């Protein structure tokens, strides 16, 4: 997997001050996407163990609320396979930090609705998230008043409550 960018003090992509990892690669190609440069799976730099350690180190200060995964799309199959061991590591070493993920795919029953991106890793990876912002960006539904999403069809989901209840529970409505 490649990554496009790491923001070590991001306040736009989740609550609080966060470390945000922008992965490379997205097949959704939403019209007027804010990060089209990251559609290319080969864009950016390789996601190595050294990069993982750099991110974990950036997550350790008390004022950092957590990690955000976005892109590109973290839920592309290639990205899921690379991110699962990393997210496990973050959970094990920094259990007090929360993890947000932004995807153009749709959450359903603890996994993703779109069959092409459902892997054996998908359910476990999603289960490690606190918040999942799902759904394609739709230009015609764009609303700059929305918090943590660009269009009104997208949802900000409380993953842990959704897994407990078996129904989608919104973190923000």
Could you tell me if 134 and 157 are in contact, meaning their C-beta atoms sit under 8 angstroms apart? Answer: yes
Domains and CATH numbers, the chain: 2-172 (3.20.20.70)
Across 159-168, average pLDDT: 97
Q: Angle of helix 49-59 relative to helix 77-93, nearest 10 degrees?
A: 50
Q: In the predicted model, is pLDDT for residue 173 greater than 90?
A: no
**DSSP 3-state assignment of 71?**
strand
Across 17-38, average pLDDT: 92
| pTM given for the model | 0.96
Phi, psi of 138 (to 5 degrees): -115, 110
In tens, the pLDDT along 110-154 reads: 999 999 999 999 999 999 999 999 999 999 999 999 999 999 999
**DSSP 3-state assignment of 10?**
strand
Helix H or strand E encompassing 77: helix 77-93
């Amino acid at each position: 997997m490649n990554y496009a960018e790491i923001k070590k003090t991001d306040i736009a992509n989740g609550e609080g001050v966060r470390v945000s990892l922008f992965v490379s690669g997205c097949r959704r190609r939403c019209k007027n996407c804010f990060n089209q440069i990251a559609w290319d799976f080969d864009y950016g730099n390789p996601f190595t163990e050294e990069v993982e350690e750099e991110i974990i180190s950036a997550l350790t200060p008390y004022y950092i609320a957590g990690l955000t995964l976005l892109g590109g799309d973290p839920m592309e199959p290639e990205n899921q396979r690379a991110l699962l061991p990393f997210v496990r590591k973050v959970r094990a070493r920094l259990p007090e930090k929360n993890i947000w993920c932004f995807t153009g795919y749709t959450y359903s029953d603890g996994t993703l609705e779109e069959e092409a991106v459902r892997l054996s890793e998908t359910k476990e990876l999603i289960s490690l998230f606190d918040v999942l912002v799902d759904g394609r960006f739709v230009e015609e539904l764009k609303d700059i008043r929305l918090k943590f999403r660009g269009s009104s069809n997208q949802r900000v989901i409380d993953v842990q409550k959704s897994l407990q209840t078996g129904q989608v529970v919104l973190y923000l409505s």
